[in-house]
Amino acid sequence: MNPRKIIAGTYLLTRRTTQRQFLLRPSKEVNACIRYCLAVAQARSGVRVHCVVFLSNHYHIVVTDVLGKVPEFTEELNKLLARALNCHHGRWENFWASSVQTNQVELVDAQDVLDKLTYSLANPTEALLVSHGKDWPGVRLYRKGDYKAKKPKFFFRTEDAGGKLPDTTKLVLTPPPIGVQAKLCDDVVKHAASAREKVIRDRAHAAGKTFLEASKVKRQGIYSAPRKPAQKRGLSPRVACRDKWHRIEVLRRLSDFISDYKEKRLRYVAGETDVVFPAGTYKMSRELGVCCEQL
């Protein structure tokens, strides 16, 4: 497996549950738990959150990583959610799909960010769950502002280990880098998502398909899963970029990073401990303290 290059930037993060089960099925308790775990992960990593959409068996989150700590954000979020919701559901098995880790796609340009925001927000409609995204009963947030998050009583103790988790905190959503003034971002994103949803609705109606709707979504069993088989062994892109030549350049830099990293790692393993790894090296820097180039 090739190493991941962790640098400051904007990303689409996606993770799915084990066997695509509906372990994230919307409910008052599950939604509150998701908000709280998101807020804690954000506070501990410093990641800027722009958009959050949790479906019953996976999530999409668009973030900007300003400190090169997005793996800390996903690690904290996935760990807290798995433990808390396993407790809520009375289960002990793996919560997240073990064969696929959190997918992290770098969004290169402003249009690429808007595309993924739109894709994420329209996902409940794309999946034929609700005809309009605003009717999704789960966590679906994109408007800038502070969202109150209260510690769920079903898992977190009043005085947790070290007493470092607050009873009440906030999830902060900030305007995404889509090339417009911050005060206009919400409206631009809303319009783009609504337009995509209309295309999906028109296509569904033309094909004679119907939407499940929110009330039935909330009644689905947590051990149920989509009937349609998941796509397997497909591409797992690391970069989203409409501009062909910009995309080629970004992929070339990523290829250079991978080659450089592998060469430096071989030298390090051979005993050359003062080798300097390329900028973006994360795991070895965090766990072994290796030296890295500066961007």
Q: How far is CA 268 from the centre of its chain?
A: 33
Instruction: Indicate the DSSP class of residue 99.
Output: S
pLDDT of 98 higher than 90: no
Q: Regarding predicted confidence, which is higher, 101 or 258?
A: 258
pLDDT at 44: 93
Helix axes 28-45, 70-89, angle to 10 degrees: 150
Work out the percent of the chain whose per-residue pLDDT is above 70: 95
pLDDT, the chain, mean: 91
pLDDT at 153: 83
Q: How far is CA 149 from the centre of its chain?
A: 18
* Dihedral pair phi/psi, residue 229, rounded to 5°: -60, 145
CA distance 29 to 52: 17
Instruction: Indicate the DSSP class of residue 172.
Output: E
Q: Which domains does the chain have, with CATH numbers?
A: 9-242 (3.30.70.1290), 246-292 (no CATH)
pLDDT tens digits, one per residue of 36-81? 999 999 999 999 999 999 999 999 999 999 988 999 999 999 999 9
pLDDT band at 285 (very low <50, low <70, confident <90, very high): confident
Half-sphere exposure of 191 (CA within 13 A, CB side): 5
Which tokens hold the place of 6? 């962790």
pLDDT tens digits, one per residue of 132-184? 999 999 999 999 999 999 998 887 765 544 457 888 999 999 999 999 999 99
Specify the 3-state DSSP secondary structure of 170.
strand
Work out the percent of the chain whose per-residue pLDDT is above 90: 71
pLDDT tens digits, one per residue of 184-235? 999 999 999 999 999 999 999 999 999 999 999 999 999 999 987 766 655 5
pLDDT at 161: 46
